[in-house]
C-alpha cells in the first residue's frame, strides 16, 4: 500500500506464499483444511444456505456455487436499502399479528415491503421467517398462515416447490 510502511518485497512474498499448505479437496472452498475454523466446506450439493433476500453475502454464496434460498422477514421492519432495521432502534420488530401479516402478504403478492421511510423496496424471497423470540410469534405465524391461505397462496415447507 502506498506509503503505509507495510510493503513486502517480491522475494519475501514468494517465500511466504511458497510455504503455505496446498489442498486438493475440491469441497474445501476457503481455508487449508477442514479443521480450520475459518474454512468454508461444501458438505453437500443438496444443502442450501438461507439468508436475507437481496443481501450481498447471499449473492457471494450463490456465485461460489452454493444453493441459496432468499428469505424475507414478516415480523421485522426493513430500511430503504433492503437491510433489516437494527433491533436497537424503535419499531424494528413488528409485534402486531395484523401488521406482520400485511407485510407478509405484500412480500408474497407484490414482491415488496414498505421501508421505515415509507418507500417500497423490492423483496424477492422464497421463504418467510417469523422470529420465535418475537413477542406473540405463534399468533403472528397463525395470522399470516390464515391470511395467505385466504388469498389462495399455497404454503409449503419446501422452498423449492
pLDDT at position 1 is: 47
Question: pTM for the complete prediction?
Answer: 0.71
pLDDT at position 126 is: 92
What is the 8-class DSSP label of residue 154?
Answer: P
Contact present, 155 and 148 (Cβ < 8 Å): yes
User: What are 91's three cell numbers?
Assistant: 419499531
| pLDDT by 10s per residue, the chain, length 161 | 455 556 667 777 677 666 666 667 777 766 666 666 666 666 676 778 888 999 998 888 888 888 889 999 999 999 999 999 999 999 999 999 999 999 999 999 999 999 999 999 999 999 999 988 877 999 999 999 999 999 998 888 776 66
What are the Cα distances from residue 64, in Å, to 12, 37, 68, 139, 146? Answer: 31, 19, 10, 38, 38
Contact present, 70 and 54 (Cβ < 8 Å): yes
In the chain, what are the helix, strand and coil shares in percent, each to the nearest 5? 30, 20, 55
Amino acid at each position: 500500500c502506498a506509503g503505509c510502511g507495510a510493503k513486502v518485497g517480491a522475494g519475501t512474498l514468494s517465500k511466504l506464499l511458497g510455504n503455505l499448505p496446498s489442498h486438493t479437496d475440491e469441497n474445501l472452498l476457503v481455508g487449508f483444511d477442514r479443521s480450520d475454523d475459518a474454512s468454508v466446506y461444501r458438505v453437500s450439493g443438496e444443502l442450501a444456505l438461507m439468508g436475507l433476500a437481496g443481501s450481498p453475502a447471499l449473492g457471494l454464496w450463490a456465485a461460489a456455487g452454493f444453493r441459496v434460498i432468499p428469505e424475507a422477514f414478516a415480523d421485522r421492519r426493513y430500511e430503504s436499502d433492503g437491510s433489516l432495521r437494527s433491533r436497537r432502534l424503535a419499531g424494528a420488530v413488528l409485534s402486531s399479528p395484523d401488521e406482520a401479516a400485511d407485510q407478509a402478504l405484500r412480500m408474497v403478492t407484490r414482491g415488496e415491503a414498505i421501508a421505515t421511510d415509507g418507500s417500497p423496496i423490492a423483496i424477492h424471497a422464497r421463504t418467510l421467517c417469523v422470529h420465535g423470540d418475537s413477542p406473540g410469534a405463534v399468533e403472528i405465524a397463525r395470522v399470516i398462515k390464515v391470511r395467505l391461505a385466504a388469498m389462495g397462496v399455497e404454503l409449503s415447507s419446501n422452498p423449492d416447490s
